[in-house]
């Protein structure tokens, strides 16, 4: 059985009808699955001061943000653009945690003016915040000394990363705060993105709590995101053990509150866990060819639509749909590639696919809701695809139109200087 069938992803709709209505390629999101993921994270702890933050960088579509807000989430933003989008989606400024790095004074001013809580990622940034806003109440992002994630490019804790303030500098943080009249009201961390075992996460969490003990003014502790999802469902990959995670989280919260004798606020900030599995990227097979004894399925899913395989060698399960008829049962190895003028442009390498895939078939890249559209680009002047929401009723709604050619040249100004 197909993965999408097992979760009733299309709610009875035919992907061919979705593509003929909204164009190919198209990002399709299932609202029910998004809400299910939100509820799993929301119920990780029953503690009243537990706050799940959604990491908007993984998918910043306004409608999805609104759905996530309606499930009781706060949000973390990495840029002023994300703050703007979160406000536009209806989040209160006080629900936004601005966890940026290497921000300018103007960016911090924007966040402070809006009323978001801000995080300082280095001593130098803490000084800067103190200069522009003496007396500010801020959080400091610490590097807990451990990292985890699906690859070097996304591991953000430990020695080989630009992120966070080292534990040894906690005293300097306190000194800077004192000098500027600032109050350190939070400590936060993020060890990296995509782990299936939360061992390192809790190692990091405990290291962060050791740091928190040094700041009597701390009211909020944010352990970060990074919770993985099984990208290889077709090969039976299991889900993360959220029950164990939940138990550990409850223990950590209870123990720390008891030790300090007061009730702190605790946050987690997953992006991928919330948004990845509710999204599928649909594309069309435009060519089938052989080269060097290898079969290539040429589709319109270039890396401008989904860059994760090209950038990180990430795996996305792929499904092929054939109009009106069943696919043959035999399979063969093929590369599934896109339409961008670079050899690194692929969705899947050496993937087992049904024989006789043909022009006009649909290629679906699964679990594409996180860091899919969010990392899409207009390289090669390819239009970014439309985003479509499948509602629990089975109704589809366009939630972002695809780019037009006009959109892609709209910011070119003074074009007439060469007239
Ligand atoms: N908090 C902070 C401070 C972060 O930097 C991130 C992700 C998150 C939370 C959410 O992490 P998540 O729960 O989604 O793993 N483009 C890469 C992932 C980059 C993650 C960047 N930071 C990918 O496609 O795998």
Residues with Cβ within 6 A of ligand 1?
Answer: 55, 57-58, 76, 99, 154, 156, 190, 193-194, 224-227, 269-273, 308, 312, 370-371
412 is catalytic: no
Separation CA 397–CA 389 (nearest Å): 5
Report the SS3 class of residue 220. Answer: strand
User: Could you tell me the two tokens for 362?
Assistant: 């649909």
H/E/C letters for each residue in 234-297?
A: HHCCCCCCHHHHHHHHHHHHHHHHHHHCCCCEEEECCCHHHHCCCEEEEEEEEEEEEECCEEEE
**Partners of 287 in the beta sheet?**
298
CA of 225 to the centre of ligand 1 (A): 7
Task: Identify the residue whose C-alpha is closest to ligand 1 atom 22.
Answer: 193
Among 353, 233, 261, 255, CA closest to 298: 353
Q: For the CA atoms of 300, 301, 302, 305, what is the dihedral angle to 10 degrees?
A: 120
DSSP string of 78-136?
SSHHHHHHHHHTT--GGGEEEE-SS--HHHHHHHHHHT-EEEE-SHHHHHHHHHHSTT-
Question: Which of 101, 119, 226 should be mutated for ligand 1, with most atoms under 8 A from CB?
Answer: 226
Question: Which of 190, 191, 268, 281 should be mutated for ligand 1, with most atoms under 8 A from CB?
Answer: 190
User: Could you tell me the two tokens for 388?
Assistant: 């479509």
Task: Identify the residue whose C-alpha is closest to ligand 1 atom 3.
Answer: 190
CA of 154 to the centre of ligand 1 (A): 7
**pTM above 0.95?**
yes
The DSSP code for 60 is: -
> Residue 301: CB partners within 8 Å, gap ≥ 6?
25, 281, 283, 336, 338, 339, 347, 363, 365
pLDDT in tens, the chain (419 residues): 999 999 999 999 999 999 999 999 999 999 999 999 999 999 999 999 999 999 999 999 999 999 999 999 999 999 999 999 999 999 999 999 999 999 999 999 999 999 999 999 999 999 999 999 999 999 999 999 989 999 999 999 988 889 999 999 999 999 999 999 999 999 999 999 999 999 999 999 999 999 999 999 999 999 999 999 999 999 999 999 999 999 999 999 999 999 999 999 999 999 999 999 999 999 999 999 999 999 999 999 999 999 999 999 999 999 999 987 666 678 999 999 999 999 999 999 999 999 889 999 999 999 999 999 999 999 999 999 999 999 999 999 999 999 999 999 999 999 999 87
**Partners of 147 in the beta sheet?**
none
CA of 59 to the centre of ligand 1 (A): 11
Pairing of strands 279-291, 26-30: antiparallel
């Amino acid at each position: 059985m197909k993965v999408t069938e097992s979760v009733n992803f299309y709610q009875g709709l035919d992907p061919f009808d979705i593509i003929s209505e909204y164009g190919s390629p198209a990002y399709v999101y299932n609202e029910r699955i998004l809400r299910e993921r939100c509820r799993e994270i929301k119920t990780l702890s029953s503690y009243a001061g537990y706050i799940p933050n959604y990491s908007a960088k993984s998918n910043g579509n306004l409608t999805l943000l609104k759905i996530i807000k309606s499930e009781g989430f706060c949000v973390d933003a990495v840029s002023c653009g994300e703050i703007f989008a979160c406000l536009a989606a209806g989040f209160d400024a006080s629900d936004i945690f601005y966890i940026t790095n290497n921000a300018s004074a103007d960016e911090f001013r924007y966040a402070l003016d809006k009323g978001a809580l801000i995080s300082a990622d280095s001593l130098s940034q803490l000084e800067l915040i103190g200069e522009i806003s003496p007396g500010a109440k801020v959080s400091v992002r610490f590097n807990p000394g451990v990292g985890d994630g699906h690859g070097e490019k996304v591991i953000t804790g430990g020695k080989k990363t630009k992120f966070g303030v080292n534990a040894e500098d906690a005293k300097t943080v306190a000194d800077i705060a004192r000098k500027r009249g600032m109050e350190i009201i939070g400590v936060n961390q993020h060890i990296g993105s995509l782990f299936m075992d939360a061992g390192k996460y809790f190692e990091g969490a405990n290291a962060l709590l050791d740091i928190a003990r040094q700041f009597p003014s701390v009211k909020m502790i944010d352990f970060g995101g990074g919770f993985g999802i099984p990208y290889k469902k077709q090969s039976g990959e299991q889900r993360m053990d959220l029950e164990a995670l939940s138990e550990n989280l409850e223990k950590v919260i209870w123990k720390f509150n008891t030790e300090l004798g007061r009730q702190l606020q605790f946050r987690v900030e997953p992006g991928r866990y919330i948004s990845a599995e509710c999204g599928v990227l649909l594309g069309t097979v435009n060519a089938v060819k052989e080269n060097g004894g290898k079969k290539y399925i040429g589709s319109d899913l270039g890396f401008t639509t989904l860059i994760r395989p090209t950038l990180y060698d990430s795996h996305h399960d792929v499904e092929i749909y054939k109009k009106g008829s069943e696919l043959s049962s035999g399979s063969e190895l093929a590369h599934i590639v896109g339409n961008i003028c670079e050899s690194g442009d692929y969705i899947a390498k050496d993937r087992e696919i049904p024989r006789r895939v043909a022009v006009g078939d649909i290629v679906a890249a699964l679990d594409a809701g996180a860091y899919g559209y969010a990392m899409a680009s207009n390289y090669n002047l390819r239009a970014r695809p439309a985003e479509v929401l499948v509602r629990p009723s089975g109704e589809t709604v366009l939630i972002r139109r695809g780019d037009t050619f006009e959109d892609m040249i709209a910011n070119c100004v003074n074009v007439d200087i060469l007239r």
